[in-house]
A and B are shown apart, each in its own frame.
Chain A
Amino acid sequence: MAFAAFAPTTTPPTDASGTAASPRRRSPVALLLLLPGILYLGLFFLAPLVSLILTSLQAPSEFGDIGQYSYAFRWENYVAVIQQYWPHILRSFGYALIATVLALLFSYPLAYFIGVTARRWPLLQSLMLVLVIAPFFISFLLRTLAWKQILSDESFLVTSLKAVSLLGPDAHLTGTAFSVIFGLTYNFIPFMTLPLYTTLERLDLRYLEAGNDLYASPVQVFRTVTVPLSMPGIVAGTLLTFIPAAGDYINASRDFLGGADTQMIGNVIEANFLVLLNYPAAAALSIILMTVILVMVGVYVKRSGTEELL
């Protein structure tokens, strides 16, 4: 989702004049500027989170029907939800992890080409970046559906693969872990590519030359110079991919690329909330998901400080 935050048009220019920025002023204007937005977020982000926590602890109401709950401190909700859905939780993080790694492997050479090799041709760079973010312009759902159709049993691709015996006669590609991970990877490639591109674009090639000058082979230079220097991009891309992927449920949905055994935690939350009306379960699962993510973000923040976040 944060793609344009990394689009080249919005990266700040380097301060060529070297003049020190004037120290920030202390002024009541700051409060005036901040308050509306912060209050809004407080109301529509923090409050809902609190709501979610409270909901997760609710108990079914004594005399109500399905969907009626009353406030309680039912910690057992969490236990129950973990007992019932731990395969889904593990599966979600597993799929997300694999998708993230695949996206990284796919995107790095692409980002490298655009950001480093193609530096001499800025127009080409711009064109390729447009192509990288182009998938965003087509609805997320339609992209996933397109893959569903391309990978479906009746499609040209699958029938040809079966014809040359690369696939068994009864095998399907859709509805499997393969297709879900495939879908996740595809959909989040731009999230991985853009931060990588941003970091690689700023890579000073003279470091690579220095590496060469100091007897390192191209592979060694890549390993010991390029990769460490592009670490900020790798970390950003990884976070931006893993977090939404873990909570995704479109790819794993049965109408899309998923099947009976590929349900992720997002599907479960959706089902519990909108269909079963089991709000506490849905809320408890959401909190669990959120907590794991927050721990990851917390580790990241500790290492780079909050200024780097935005």
Chain B
Amino acid sequence: MRRLSLGTWLLPVYAVLALIFLMVPIVYTFVFSFNDSLKSNITWRGFTFDKWLNVCAVQNGAVCEAFGNSALIGVVATVLATTLGTMIAIALVRYRFRFRSATSLLLFLPMATPEVVLGAGLAAQFLSVGVPKDMVTIILAHTMFCISFVVVTVKARVAGLDPALEEAGRDLYGSPAQVFARVTFPLLLPGILAAALLSFALSFDDFIITNFNSGAVTTFPKYIYISASRGIPAEANVIASAVFILALVIVVTAQVSSAARAKRQARQA
């Protein structure tokens, strides 16, 4: 029985305070989405649901358009990055090939390179090749930096996959395609989904690389940056809060459902 001395209290209290500190801007943003503001959303003028109800009205729907762009870019980049990244992850774990170290290094570098450098580099390249900057260049850029993260995430899952399972599949008369479709892929799916979610989140929230490579297209973060000097409408807070709540719901649901499933299985056994 531990005595409740200062020592035992200190860490939990610190942890709670730390988490509260982390939440401050989130709460602030959320609260100010209800602000009855005019142009800028800095001083509190009153509580209203208006902004939530008429999100796309402000500035001729600029906010919603930006959001839409971000979402579209996110989806396309995610699909591309997840496909390419998963293939690489499988190759890295299951096969031997030369230039293995070089490949690992090449995959690691985009994660280690500051976004400024990535953004400027791509922009310089597009410039020298003469490609105009638009939606396509943004998607190409996002896919590029997402691939490495997909590889890391899926690789962990592939490494944890018992090779005996695929061997059993082959032993039980499954052709290579059948083994992949019925054994490998279903077991990798949670990792692939996690990688896809991560990829989407990275793409959606990306500003720096996008800023260098977007030309006239506005994404949601870019919209915020541009509006920062003249005043960000509360509608931006609304969208950000909505995304936050959605993301929170997804993550919490995933955790709760896997915990519930584990409990159910343990009880049945």
Contact = CB atoms under 8 A, between A and B. Distances in A.
On whether the two chains bind one another, the answer is yes
B97 A30 contact: yes
A47 interface: yes
A33 interface: yes
Contact of A4 (B120, B151, B167, B198): B198
Given A279-B127, A310-B152, A141 B157 contact: no
A13 B211 contact: no
Given A44-B144, A110-B18, A113-B12, A29 B95 contact: yes
Interface in A93-119: 106, 109-110, 112-114, 117
Interface in B72-127: 84-85, 87-88, 90-97, 101, 103-118, 120-125, 127
Given A2-B111, A41-B106, A135 B247 contact: no
Contact of A145 (B145, B155, B232): B232
A184 interface: no
B153 A10 contact: yes
Size bin of chain A's contact surface? 35 or more
Contact of A266 (B114, B191, B229): B114
Interface string A1-40: 1111101011111010101011111110111011011101
B140 A44 contact: yes
Nearest to B101: A306
B109 A45 contact: yes
Nearest to A266: B116
Contacts of B157: 10, 12
B259 A24 contact: no
A143 B25 contact: yes
A130 B245 CA distance: 12
Nearest to B12: A113
A191 B159 CA distance: 23
Nearest to B244: A137
Given A41-B147, A145-B228, A130 B94 contact: no
Contacts of B22: 131-132, 134-135, 186, 189-190
B220 A134 contact: no
20 contacts: A1-B149, A4-B153, A5-B153, A9-B258, A19-B162, A38-B103, A41-B107, A122-B259, A130-B255, A137-B247, A141-B228, A142-B236, A146-B26, A243-B114, A255-B225, A270-B211, A286-B120, A289-B117, A290-B113, A310-B155
Interface of A: 1-5, 7, 9-13, 15, 17, 19, 21-27, 29-31, 33-34, 36-38, 40-42, 44-49, 51-52, 54-55, 106, 109-110, 112-114, 117, 122-123, 126, 128, 130-147, 149-150, 152, 154, 186, 189-190, 218, 239, 243-244, 246-250, 255-256, 265-266, 269-270, 273-274, 279, 282-283, 286-287, 289-290, 293-294, 297, 301, 306-307, 309-310
Given A150-B25, A150-B28, 7 more contacts: A5-B153, A12-B156, A126-B255, A133-B251, A135-B25, A143-B25, A255-B225
Interface of B: 7, 11-12, 14-15, 18-19, 22-26, 28-29, 32, 42-43, 84-85, 87-88, 90-97, 101, 103-118, 120-125, 127-128, 140-141, 143-145, 147-149, 151-153, 155-157, 159-160, 162-164, 167, 190-191, 194-195, 197-198, 201-202, 205, 207-208, 211-212, 220-221, 224-225, 228-229, 232, 236-237, 240-241, 243-244, 247-248, 251-252, 254-255, 258-259
